[in-house]
């Protein structure tokens, strides 16, 4: 296809969300790896294999020039690890790293200009973190900081991106059942997408997010997590500049034996300045609500092996059909932790 037609096709995909697995066109992807379960040794590592179906790989909106198959199977592998350089009772300093690869099974059908396998994705992530335990108002608390570098490569080279992120976080155990946490993230996102009018369409952005959460442990090995966040995506292109309020709820419970269930819902309410383009009627996107529902069943088979089954449903509602879409994902994964 011609260069101008190709750019329009890429921009159509960028209107909503990335076609790749973890990336978001208007927000940094793949957050830093955390050290959630430090053991007595200085390192931990795991490998995960998964297979699932994605109903809308390119996240094609209701009105789009996309001409390929939307649904596809996807197989992925992820390797991740952490090495704790300093590990004491109160202080942990560590290095993190991960590499993942996702491949889609569907290619071009006769007459198609686009196909899911064009969004095959490789992600590299490396970072450093520090975590300090202390007492706050005589309550157990933690303070932490992290930095990570994330790189995403796709078969569509124009959709590749890099992201650098720094974060601060803290938490306090107010009561045996109730804990509060807060986090601040600042990201510098750079995309390889090169549009003729970068002042309108550049996705390069300085992204900030401030969130607070409350975690309440119920009886019977259950807990509920409530989260409120405010984000500011200060993009170089006005079409991708937005502010948002995010509300989230997650419920986790023990089902039976080694089986656990998690249910979640998340609403991302974004306000835009509009969208200036020759193929989008005015006023363009002024607001967009991204609603996501998730369900995950986790089976801890042994100390080293676990399996999980997931369903994910996301809807994009906006003031115009060009920015509305639906996407559902379902699949299973097995994870091996090296011991």
Query: What CATH number is attached to the domain comprising 129?
Result: 2.40.160.40
Is the full-model pTM beyond 0.85?
yes
Task: Give the model's pLDDT for residue 37.
Answer: 57
Cα separation, 45 vs 47, whole angstroms? 7
Residues 127-154 have a mean pLDDT of: 95
Per-residue model confidence (pLDDT) at position 29? 43
Among 18-27, 100-109, 224-233, the range scoring the smallest mean pLDDT is 18-27
On the question of pLDDT at 110 being above 50, the answer is yes
Q: What is the largest CA-CA distance in the chain?
A: 68
Mean per-residue pLDDT, 85-98: 95
**pLDDT band with cut points at 50, 70 and 90 for residue 214:** very high
Number of H helices, E strands in the chain: 2, 14
pLDDT of residue 42: 93
Q: Is the pLDDT of residue 187 over 80?
A: yes
Q: How many domains does the structure of the chain reveal?
A: 1
Residue range 202-217: average pLDDT? Answer: 96
Q: What is the pLDDT of residue 34?
A: 52
The C-alpha angle with vertex 243 and arms to 238 and 247, in degrees rounded to 5, equals 150
Average pLDDT value for residue range 234-249: 94
Average pLDDT, the chain: 87
pLDDT at position 4 over 60: no
> Domain residues for 115?
3-337
From residue 65, how far is each of 61, 141, 323 by CA, in Å?
9, 52, 13
Q: Average pLDDT, stretch 41-59?
A: 94
Does position 165 have pLDDT exceeding 80, yes or no? yes
């Amino acid at each position: 296809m011609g260069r101008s037609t190709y750019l329009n096709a890429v921009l159509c995909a960028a209107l909503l969300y990335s076609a790749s697995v973890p990336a978001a066109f208007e927000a940094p992807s793949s957050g830093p790896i955390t050290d959630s379960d430090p053991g007595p040794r200085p390192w931990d590592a795991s490998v995960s294999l998964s297979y699932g179906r994605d109903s809308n790989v390119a996240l094609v909106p209701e009105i789009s020039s996309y001409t390929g198959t939307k649904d596809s199977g996807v197989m992925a592998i992820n390797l991740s690890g952490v090495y704790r350089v300093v590990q004491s009772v109160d202080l942990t300093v560590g290095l993190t790293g991960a590499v993942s690869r996702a491949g889609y099974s569907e290619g071009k059908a006769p007459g198609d200009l686009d196909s899911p396998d064009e969004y095959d994705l490789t992600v590299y992530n490396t970072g450093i973190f520090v975590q300090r335990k202390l007492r706050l108002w005589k309550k157990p608390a933690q303070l932490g900081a992290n930095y990570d570098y994330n790189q995403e490569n796709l078969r569509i080279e124009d959709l590749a991106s890099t992201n650098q992120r720094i974060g601060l976080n803290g938490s306090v155990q107010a009561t045996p059942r109730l804990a509060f946490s807060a986090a601040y993230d600042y990201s510098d996102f750079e995309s390889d997408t090169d549009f003729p009018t970068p002042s309108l369409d550049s996705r390069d952005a300085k992204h900030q997010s401030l969130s607070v959460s409350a975690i309440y442990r119920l009886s019977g090995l259950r807990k509920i997590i409530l989260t409120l966040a405010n984000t500011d995506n200060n993009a170089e292109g006005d079409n991708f500049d937005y502010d948002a309020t995010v509300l989230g709820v997650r419920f986790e419970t023990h089902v039976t034996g080694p089986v656990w269930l998690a249910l979640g819902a998340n609403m991302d309410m974004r306000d835009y300045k509009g969208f200036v383009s020759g193929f989008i009627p005015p006023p363009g996107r002024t607001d967009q609500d991204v609603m996501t529902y998730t369900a995950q069943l986790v089976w801890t088979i042994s100390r080293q092996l676990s399996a999980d089954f997931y369903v994910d449903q996301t809807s994009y509602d906006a003031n115009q059909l060009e920015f509305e879409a639906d996407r559902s994902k379902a699949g299973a994964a097995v994870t091996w932790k090296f011991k």
